[in-house]
């Protein structure tokens, strides 16, 4: 069945004006101002007064559940497709985190395939917080080359007491191996790096550049807004050709502990000359949100939600005056490009019909299309 979405103001994420969109077979078939195919059976959707934007691409979701840092009862549950779709997320990149003992890549892949069956686009990362890497096949190269759904590595933890305290040589080897496997498989093989609270921040990644010629674009450092001092390191990283990921989910305690709200952090980074097209925001959905005291003891724990991503975009645009196309870019076109997901994160003829109708004033989600199907 074909669907014609009429008279919405389209951001692809760049402003395209008021357009009609014809979708069918899971793809965008035509984008035109006066488009009205005669004689075709159509579902017509009135988009008047609404914004039509690409479905969000979320670079870090613990789709098989995360947590566990407060004992077994603190393990979080797997992602439900409806929780992502309701929040405007149509593509997720699934990863393991701290717990790679009770969580496995087999389970991660099964969760991704289940999400696909429910209309969500889903890929996964090999590896976890720790080195040596946990993988599916025993080899990172084999994972990336032979398993379609594996598109990168991570999140590997640095500057964090929960990580395996890798050195630059170990990290560089992972990036090099992912790069080679990416070439063989036609993937980008991006390495997602979890940044913890320790003051060295990106130092190891800079060392990888100096000593092993690993270009900053091989990595996507995440949680860059978790501390003001870490966010301050983003300027030099962007200037050197790197990209950064901001984390949308947070708690009041984390904010008062020094985290910078993702909407505000986006506004600040976009003011830098190299900011545009290099910044992504992810939800860290289904992660636990643990608080530790000075001695590393867990003091409280929460769960990160998928709707944090949309809320961050809303705060950036409505609260911090970030232009809508730039805020959208950080959750659509840029993450799709950084992960090498052709067809995702943009509105254009031939792209996948993953789309959101948003309220023009509040940016609330009114309808979600994934693979061309209305989901709400």
Residue 194 interacts with Zn ion (CB under 5 A)? Answer: yes
Least gap, CB of 253 to Zn ion (angstroms): 17
Q: Helix H segments across 233-364? A: 234-239, 252-256, 262-270, 308-314, 324-329, 333-338
Q: Which stretch binds Zn ion (CB under 5 A): 151-159, 198-206, 235-243, 353-361?
A: 151-159
Task: Residue 248: name the closest of 163, 310, 327 by CA.
Answer: 310
Shortest distance, CB of residue 221 to Zn ion, whole angstroms?
10
Binding map of Zn ion across residues 115-134, x = CB under 5 A, - = no contact: --------------------
In the complex, the smallest distance separating the C-beta of residue 160 from Zn ion, rounded to whole angstroms, is 8
Catalytic residue among 284, 307, 352, 354: 284
Minimum distance between the CB of residue 248 and Zn ion, rounded to whole angstroms?
13
Instruction: Name the region of 27 (left: φ>0; alpha: ψ -120 to 50; beta: rest).
Output: beta
C-beta closer to Zn ion: residue 58 or 155: 155
CB 197, min distance to Zn ion, A: 11
For the record, the structure tokens of 253 come out as: 């305690």
284 is catalytic: yes
Planar angle of CA 354, 217, 87, nearest 5 degrees: 25
151 versus 351: smaller Cβ distance to Zn ion: 151
Integer Cα distance of 98 and 194 in angstroms: 10
| Only segment of 148-156, 255-263, 309-317, 330-338 that touches Zn ion (CB under 5 A) | 148-156
Q: Which stretch binds Zn ion (CB under 5 A): 4-12, 149-157, 158-166, 253-261?
A: 149-157
Question: Segment near Zn ion (CB under 5 A), from 161-169, 171-179, 186-194, 259-267?
Answer: 186-194
Bridge partners (DSSP) of residue 254 are none
Applying CB under 5 A, the site for Zn ion has a residue count of: 2
Closer to Zn ion at the Cβ: 9 or 155? 155
DSSP at 79: P
Closest approach of Zn ion to the CB of residue 287, in Å:
7
CA–CA–CA angle 367, 373, 375 (5° rounding): 45
Instruction: Kindly give, in sequence order, each residue whose CB lies less than 8 Å from that of residue 188, ignoring residues fewer than 6 positions away.
Output: 151, 152, 182, 338, 339, 340
Complex with Zn ion: residue 75 or 320, whichever CB lies closer: 75
Q: Which is nearer to Zn ion, 6 or 197 (CB)?
A: 197
Number of Cβ within a 10 Å radius of residue 83: 16
Nearest-10 crossing angle of helices 203-212, 168-185 = 70
Q: Are 231 and 268 in contact (CB under 8 A)?
A: yes
Report 154-173 residues binding Zn ion (CB under 5 A). 155
Q: Which of residues 68-97 bind Zn ion (CB under 5 A)?
A: none
- Cite the active site residues: 284
Residues at the interface with Zn ion (CB under 5 A) = 155, 194
């Amino acid at each position: 069945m074909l669907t014609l979405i009429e008279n919405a103001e389209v951001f692809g994420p760049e402003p395209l004006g008021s357009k009609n969109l014809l979708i069918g077979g899971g793809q965008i078939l035509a984008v035109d101002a006066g488009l009205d195919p005669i004689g075709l059976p159509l579902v017509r959707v009135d988009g008047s007064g609404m914004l039509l934007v690409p479905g969000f691409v979320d670079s870090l979701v613990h789709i098989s559940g995360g947590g566990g840092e407060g004992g077994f009862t603190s393990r979080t549950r797997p992602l439900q497709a409806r929780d992502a779709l309701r929040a405007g997320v149509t593509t997720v990149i699934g990863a393991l985190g701290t717990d790679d003992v009770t969580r496995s890549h087999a389970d991660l892949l099964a969760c991704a395939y289940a999400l696909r069956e429910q209309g969500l686009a889903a890929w996964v990362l090999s590896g976890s917080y720790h080195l040596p890497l946990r993988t599916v096949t025993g080899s990172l190269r084999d994972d990336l080359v032979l398993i379609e759904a594996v598109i990168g590595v991570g999140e590997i933890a640095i500057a964090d007491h929960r990580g395996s305290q890798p050195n630059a040589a170990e990290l560089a080897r992972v990036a090099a191996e992912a790069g080679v496997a990416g070439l063989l498989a036609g993937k980008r093989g991006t390495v997602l790096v979890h940044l913890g609270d320790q003051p060295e921040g990106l130092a190891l990644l800079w060392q990888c550049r100096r000593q092993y010629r690993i270009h900053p674009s091989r990595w996507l450092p995440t949680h860059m807004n978790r501390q003001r001092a870490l966010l301050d390191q983003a300027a030099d990283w962007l200037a050197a050709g790197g990209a950064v990921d901001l984390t949308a989910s947070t708690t009041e305690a984390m904010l008062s502990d020094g985290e910078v709200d993702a909407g505000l952090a986006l506004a600040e980074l976009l003011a830098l000359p190299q900011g545009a097209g290099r910044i992504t925001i992810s939800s860290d959905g289904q992660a636990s949100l643990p608080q530790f005291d000075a001695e590393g003891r867990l003091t409280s724990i929460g769960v990160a939600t998928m709707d944090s991503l949309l809320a961050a975009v809303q705060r950036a645009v409505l609260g911090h005056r970030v232009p809508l196309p730039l805020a959208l870019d950080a959750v659509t076109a840029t993450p799709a490009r950084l992960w090498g997901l052709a067809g995702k994160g943009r509105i254009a003829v031939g792209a996948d019909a993953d789309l959101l109708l948003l309220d023009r004033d509040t940016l609330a989600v009114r309808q979600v299309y994934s693979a061309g199907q209305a989901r709400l």
